[in-house]
Structure 1
C-alpha cells in the first residue's frame, strides 16, 4: 500500500517537471533495472498491490508491455484475466434470496412435529398461518423432524385417549373412637382423576358393593373398563352386575397393587390429608368427612398431573379481593376472589 501511495505522489509531481528531466529519470531507472536483473534471482515475488499496479497500467495503456523488464507481458495478461474472473464472480453473487427463518420459528416447527407425529408439513403450515407466522410450506418440511418409522402416537397419548373410559375401585379400613372398624369404598375415574363415589359400611358384602357401583356409574354413563383387586368381598354378584351394565371387569394380578396405582395413591392422599387428622365417631360421621373431602378434591384441590388444575377445572380469577374459606374445619382452605 505504501508503494502505491508513493507511485501516486510521484505521478502528481511529474506533472510539473520538464520533459528533459523526465527522460533523464526514465533512462536512469532503466539502467538500474538492467543492473538489478543481472544480479537478482530469476524468480521474482510480487505482492497483490504490485500485481494491481501492473494490471491497472496495462488496462489504461496497453503499450506499456514493451517497457516490462522484470516480468513477462504474458504474466501481466494472466493477472488481468484472473482479476476479471474474480470481479465478475463477486458481481454475480446473489444479493437477495429467501429470508432466513428465525431460530424461534425453527424450534417451534420441530416441537410441533415432535408433539404431533401424525401431522405433515401442510398441517403444520396451516397452524403456523393461523398463528400469524408467514412461512413457506417447503421451509416447514425442511425443519421438521425426520422419522425412519411410520408416524405413530406414543404410549402416553394412547393411554390418555382411553382414560375417560376407565374407572377404578378400592376399599380401605377406618377405625372409630370405639375401636370399631368401618369400611370405605372408593370409586374414581381415570380421565380427570375425579372421585365418583364414596361408600361407608360396617359389613361390606358383594351385594352392597354391587349397589354402590350401580349408584356411582349408573346405567347410561358407565365406563368401559373397571379395575379392581382380588379382594374376597367382590363376589359373583358384583361380576354379574358389571356385565349387565356393560362394564368389562379387569381384576389386577395377585399381590400387584401397582396395577391399581391411581386408586392406591388416592387412598393415601385421603389418609394424609383428612383421616389421619380426625377421630371418626360413627358411620355417619365418616360419610360426612368423605363427602366433604370429595367436594374439596374434585372442585378445589390442584393436581400436578393436571397441570396444577382441579379435576373439575377451575377458572382463573384475576380481579377482586382474596377471600379464604376453610374446608374440613380449617384443615384445608379455599382461596377465591370476590
Structure 2
C-alpha cells in the first residue's frame, strides 16, 4: 500500500508540473475531457460501483479534504463528497491509533513501591493470604485489585493463599515486640539473710531492663509508685510499648493496672496490663 501511494504521489506530482506551463484554456479543456471520460465510465458501469483500494482512498482523502464542502460538491467525482471526508477521518483515526498503541501489550506493570510493600507485608505476616494483604493496602490508601496482589505473590514465589493456622504466643510476640513489656518480681536473699523482692521490667523490642526498686514488703502503695516510675521512664526513652505482660501474682494490686490504664488514656507510652 505504501509503495502504491508513493507511486501515485510521484505520478500526480509530474502531472502538476506538466500543467504549470499550460494556459488556463488548455487546463479547462483537459478538465472537461476528464469529466466526460468519468461520465462514460459511469454509463458503462451502470449499477456497479467503482472499487478504490486503500492507497487510492488515502491519496484522494489527502488531496481533497481541504476543499470547502460546497466546492467539493461541484467537483466531478466517482464517489460522493461525504465519502471522501469519511476516508480522511478514517485515515486520521488509524494514524492516531498507531501512534497511541502501547509498546507492550496488557495492563501496565504495578508500581515498584507497591510490589515492595506487598512483599514486605507478606514477609512480616507469613500467615496472611492475598485477601488480608489486599485489605491492609486499602487501609493504607493504596487501591489495587486483589488479583494484582495474587500475581505479585505468585511471581515472587510466595503462596498467595497459605493455610490458616491458629496464632501462637510466639507469633504474637514476634509481630508485637515493639509494643510489649513484661514485668515480674525477682526474689533474692541478701548477705544478711533478708529476703528482698526486686521489681524488674523488660522491653521486648530492645531487651532493655528497668529495675524499679527492691523492697522486703511489696505493698500496694509501693507497687503503684513503681508503676508511676515505669510510666515516666518509658516517656523519657520514647518507648512505644502499649501492653504489659505479667502473671497473676498477688503482689500486683488493682492499683497497678489502674495506673497504667490512666497513663494510656493520656499517652501512648503504656497501656493496660495483660495477665499471662
TM-score bracket relative to the smaller structure? 0.3 to 0.5
- Using structure 1 for the length normalisation, give the TM-score: 0.31
TM-score by length of 2: 0.37
